[in-house]
């Protein structure tokens, strides 16, 4: 079944955004092309709103990744380095791994550049809110770039309840308007108590 409007369509459960790719899209696509070979992931926060047409700048793209083993992370790191990414936190597995162990976020950018960058956020069951969204992905596609985001209703509430800054509230307003014809009100009731756990 396909639903569609001028800005997007839905085909087989995947949201198809009707626009051209930007430089930021291509940066994220390049990173995910490497990451997908090693791990599951979820793109969250500002890039979700930007990908659906909200016009605003961003310096970082938040990506949730299931907390890896050291061996798996070493393989991912080597692949990223081979594909011309560098890590803000160091040049070797031993330098960077301590951040993953402590569940601290790390950042990657293209060699010779600082922005845009990816904020790499490790998640596991000890972070129940993030783990819930991580395990309930929504597919989205722009041209040939397909990736995973949280359920739209979850992303809206997370921005309104947890992040709650001016930019986040504006992002949420954009998503509410952009997806007004497919938002499911019952999902807000389902997701709200899960999201509020992050405030405790």
Per DSSP bridges, beta strands 138-142 and 145-149 are antiparallel
What was the pLDDT predicted at 5?
58
Residues 161, 192: contact at Cβ < 8 Å? yes
Task: Give kind and range of the element (H or E) at residue 141.
Answer: strand 138-142
Domains along the chain with CATH numbers: 19-151 (3.30.460.40)
Distance CA 155, CA 186 (A): 15
Mean pLDDT, contiguous 10-residue spans, the chain (200 residues): 69 96 97 98 97 87 97 98 98 97 96 97 95 98 98 98 96 97 97 94
Q: pTM score, two decimals?
A: 0.94
What was the pLDDT predicted at 6?
77
What was the pLDDT predicted at 2?
45
DSSP 64-125: EEEPPPHHHHHHHHHHHHHTTEEETTBSSHHHHHHHHHTT--EEEEETT--SSEEEEEEE-T
Q: How many CB atoms lie under 10 A from the CB of residue 102?
A: 8
Q: What is the dihedral of CA 35, 7, 135, 194, to 10 degrees?
A: 130
């Amino acid at each position: 079944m396909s639903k569609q409007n001028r800005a997007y369509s839905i085909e087989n459960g995947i949201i198809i955004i009707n626009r051209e790719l930007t430089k930021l899209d291509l940066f994220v696509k390049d990173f995910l092309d490497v990451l997908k070979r090693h791990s599951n992931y979820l793109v969250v926060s500002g890039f979700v709103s930007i990908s659906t047409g909200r016009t605003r700048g961003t310096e970082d793209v938040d990506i949730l990744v299931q907390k890896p083993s050291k061996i798996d992370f070493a393989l991912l790191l080597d692949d990223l380095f081979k594909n011309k990414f560098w890590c803000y936190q160091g040049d070797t597995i031993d330098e960077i791994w301590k951040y993953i162990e402590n569940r601290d976020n790390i950042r990657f950018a293209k060699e010779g550049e600082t922005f845009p960058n990816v904020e790499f956020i490790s998640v596991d069951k000890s972070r129940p809110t993030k783990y819930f969204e991580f395990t309930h992905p929504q597919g989205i596609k722009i041209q040939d770039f397909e990736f995973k985001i949280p359920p739209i209703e979850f992303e809206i509430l997370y921005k309104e309840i947890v992040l709650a800054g001016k930019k986040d509230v504006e992002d949420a307003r954009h998503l509410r308007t952009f997806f007004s014809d497919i938002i499911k009100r019952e999902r807000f009731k389902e997701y709200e108590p899960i999201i509020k756990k992050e405030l405790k």
